[in-house]
Structure 1
């Protein structure tokens, strides 16, 4: 079960991206969904994020997930990676 934390930020930070301070447009999951198996928990923590930051991290998360799966499976052959 995911533990919820109270937001101790002040009102100046509400409605802004946690990464850059721009107006928030999306929600960023923590941890990223790409690192989780199905079924996903229904209560994943999210933080406000602008579209640029949220999408900007996606390629990095995909690369890291592919690297981790290659290390875990012992191969970089996509046919032999289980995920």
Structure 2
């Protein structure tokens, strides 16, 4: 489930406080939070299991207060910043 924010997108995963209860597996679900930044959106939920994408090159996996079910291990937090070279059309 994607939440659209003013400075990027957040992909909500099951277990996140903001993950909707009525998710359809056949329809795309976008939530409009364009009045908030990713940082403001992060501060609104206690349980976080999400991927934050500020643009194509910056992403962050946030796991906070998540207790996986069935003995699964929680994913490791990840923060990646990559600068991709521009392709020349020459």
Give the structure with higher Rg (CA).
1
In which range does the TM-score fall when normalised by the shorter chain?
under 0.3
Please give the TM-score of this superposition, normalised by the length of structure 1.
Answer: 0.27
Greater strand fraction, Structure 1 or Structure 2: 2
